[in-house]
Chain A
């Protein structure tokens, strides 16, 4: 899932400083799962903003809404009743950055992101998420025992650990596992260590951040 976290309140306060009534809109997708932008987080941020603005003597009216998803037009449409009838002056979105972009495309009022979209990751334990994918566009984890060197090696190396690996940890932090130690251990368990002797060629990054915005088309799914 996409993992995100809330921007500092002061940054959000500055975004909405000029408005008297806004729509604070959450998303029931990934950002609900990573506890950044679901119904609960909408409630907390709304209260915090109202309190902060009351303190400044300039009350802020906030309409709270959480959509099924903000990355699909049909769900974006569900906010139209609020935006077109309630007289909100701006939208503050608690989705990943797709959400505010879709809201901005549909509604002709200013849209602001309340979250920083951090990475594609998974839960390690309750309240802890880690990066597992950088969406490079050409998955190669099967060569590396199911462990992604692009996202989990700090240097995205493809041919073994660097000189900074020590006792299974990465040189950037003793908290971070060396991905290449993980890969080595996993390949050893699988009895496939010899496969690591092969030199992996330079990766084709043209599927990653190259050639403009990427697009997936499924002709069989199109209506």
Chain B
């Protein structure tokens, strides 16, 4: 679990699990394109979005995240054939679990971003930040 950057007390903390073959490369592309995205989105490199287990996401929330998203390859282009489909199913299962425990299912999401889509990477980061801002920082994560 990475340490979140200090000094962002008013901003939600968002963790993005990014597949090294697509979304992570898209983050690089966003950098090359000089596109900015919110600093409160923390990127975690994973070998495939299929590596992201439900427990990773739950533990992220337990340890201070207000939102988590998984960014995998576009459907049909996973380096490991169906890792992104597996990730998507887990995110859907987690949304149901969140509803059961009274947490907004929108706090967890799955995105598909190809390596060349630097613009989409930045947009997803902005959209997710806006979404979590509107939902608010989770009670036990409030910094003040």
Question: Which A residues fall within an 8 A CB radius of B?
Answer: 8-10, 13, 40, 43-44, 47-52, 54-55, 57
Contact = CB atoms under 8 A, between A and B. Distances in A.
Interface in B91-112: 97, 100-103
Contacts of A43: 55, 58
B62 interface: yes
Nearest to A8: B100
A57 B102 CA distance: 13
Contact of B97 (A9, A13, A50, A57): A9
A54 B140 contact: yes
Contact of B139 (A9, A13, A55): A55
A9 B103 CA distance: 12
Dominant secondary structure at the B interface: helix
Of the candidates A8, A43, A49, the one having the most CB atoms from chain B within 10 angstroms of its own CB is A43
Contact of B103 (A8, A13, A51): A51
B100 A47 contact: no
Given A13-B101, A51-B101, 20 more contacts: A9-B100, A10-B100, A40-B53, A40-B54, A40-B55, A44-B55, A44-B97, A47-B58, A47-B59, A47-B61, A47-B62, A48-B100, A48-B101, A49-B101, A51-B61, A51-B103, A52-B101, A54-B140, A55-B101, A55-B138
Interface of B: 53-55, 58-59, 61-62, 97, 100-103, 138-140
Contacts, number: 44
A51 B53 contact: no
10 contacts: A9-B100, A40-B54, A40-B55, A44-B54, A48-B101, A51-B101, A54-B62, A54-B139, A55-B102, A55-B103
A51 B100 contact: no
A54 B63 CA distance: 11
Contacts of B103: 51-52, 55
Contacts of B139: 54-55, 57
A186 B100 CA distance: 44
B55 A51 contact: no
A40 B53 CA distance: 9
B101 A9 contact: yes
Contacts of B59: 47
Contacts of B58: 43-44, 47-48, 51
B102 A52 contact: yes
Nearest to A57: B139
A198 B59 CA distance: 61
A129 to B, nearest CB: 16
Contacts of A55: 101-103, 138-140
Contacts of B55: 40, 43-44, 47
Contacts of A52: 101-103
Contacts of A57: 139
The 6 closest A-B pairs by CB, nearest first: A47-B58, A52-B101, A9-B100, A43-B55, A54-B140, A44-B54
B124 to A, nearest CB: 24
